[in-house]
Amino acid sequence: MRACALLGGPKTQWPTDLQAFLAARQAAGDLLIGVDRGSLLLEELNLVPDLAVGDFDSLKKTELAQIEENVPDLRYSIPEKDFTDAELATKYAFVDYQVDALTLYGATGGRLDHFLTNLLMVVKSDFSQYAENIELVDQQNELRFYWPGQHLVNRLPGYTYFGVAPLTAVTGLSITGAKYELNNYTSAVPLSFASNEFLPGQDAFDLSFAKGIVAVIQTKDIDRYQSI
């Protein structure tokens, strides 16, 4: 089983047709999770989360009452805690629901403190075991995490550009079969190689490294930003 979680990030960053997509995934048996305000956003999309996690501090009484009434598994979090709501939701999904993979929506854009917490969750020792099974998706980015090893990174539909960002110290980082190659690169600090490209006619590139956690971001420009 897969899980889809909606966090409270700005709707402007949502992928197109998120409502229809999530409705179809839930109908197909995926676990649908609302993280704090994300639970309300799901309700507004006429979707009922299977699991809702949060302190719900920012919700009105009537909004919370609706969630309390129709969400089968509602779990309150404590604000001054060791784990964020998104981290708790991730734990519940993988441990209690035994999901194979988790996609986070609403995890990007808006407040940068929130985004960085979501991005760096998989670097924490409690969550690194799930790194390769978590992705962040918004309207112009699909971000996945990799452990050390050799990986064939497949091009996702609609994407040409990608970035490779070690989120920790990294050793032996190589990128082959892409526009800009990298050979056995080592860095003691995180960094981001942006604007790489899949080769014409190629639908994958090779990524390998010996140590660290690396994010690969498939990404595209969005014309509407150019014309505003």
Q: Which residues bind a copy of itself (CB under 8 A)?
A: 10-12, 80, 84, 108-114, 116-117, 119-120, 123-124, 140-141, 143, 161-163, 165, 167-169, 180, 189-195, 215, 217, 219-222, 225, 228
Question: Dihedrals φ, ψ of 168, to 5°?
Answer: -140, 180
| Nearest of 21, 29, 35, 204 to residue 100 by alpha carbon | 29
Nearer to a copy of itself, 1 or 210 (CB): 210
Q: Are 10 and 109 within 8 A, CB to CB?
A: yes
Nearer to a copy of itself, 29 or 225 (CB): 225
Nearer to a copy of itself, 97 or 115 (CB): 115
Supply the minimum distance, in Å, between the C-beta of residue 221 and a copy of itself: 7
Supply the minimum distance, in Å, between the C-beta of residue 50 and a copy of itself: 24
CA distance 57 to 200: 49
What's 158's DSSP letter? Answer: T
The radius of gyration computed from the CA coordinates of the chain, to the nearest angstrom, equals: 18
Cα–Cα distance list, 76 to 67, 89, 115, 160 (Å): 12, 11, 22, 41
Supply the minimum distance, in Å, between the C-beta of residue 214 and a copy of itself: 12
Nearer to a copy of itself, 27 or 112 (CB): 112
Supply the minimum distance, in Å, between the C-beta of residue 29 and a copy of itself: 29
